[in-house]
């Protein structure tokens, strides 16, 4: 079995998302993320993007990375030396 890199997996997943019908994407978000968490993330993204609209690309990238870190945290895979809040 061939192991894909994180980059390859991310690119394949993003391609799948881009090609997914909008109603299927919305159902997937609702089923997997849940409406409450989606609302929290929407509010946070709105706050970040409105604070610096001239840096939309940088902010969008940062939000994607934060989403990834949240998932790693949910899975208990953050390194033990990660600073706590």
**pLDDT exceeds 90 at position 18:** yes
pLDDT (0 to 100) of residue 3? 67
* pLDDT category of residue 1 using cuts at 50, 70 and 90: very low
pLDDT (0 to 100) of residue 81? 84
**pLDDT exceeds 90 at position 19:** yes
Contact 36, 18 (CB under 8 A): no
Residue 66 and residue 48: Cα distance in Å, rounded? 12
* Tokens (6 digits) for 23: 């109603």
């Amino acid at each position: 079995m061939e192991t894909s890199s994180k980059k390859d997996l991310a690119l394949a997943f993003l391609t799948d998302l881009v090609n997914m019908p909008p109603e299927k994407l919305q159902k997937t978000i609702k089923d997997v993320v849940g409406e409450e968490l989606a609302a929290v993330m929407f509010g946070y993204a709105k706050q970040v993007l409105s604070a610096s609209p001239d840096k939309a690309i940088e902010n969008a990238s940062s939000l994607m990375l934060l989403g990834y870190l949240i998932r790693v945290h949910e899975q208990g895979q953050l390194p033990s030396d990660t600073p706590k809040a």
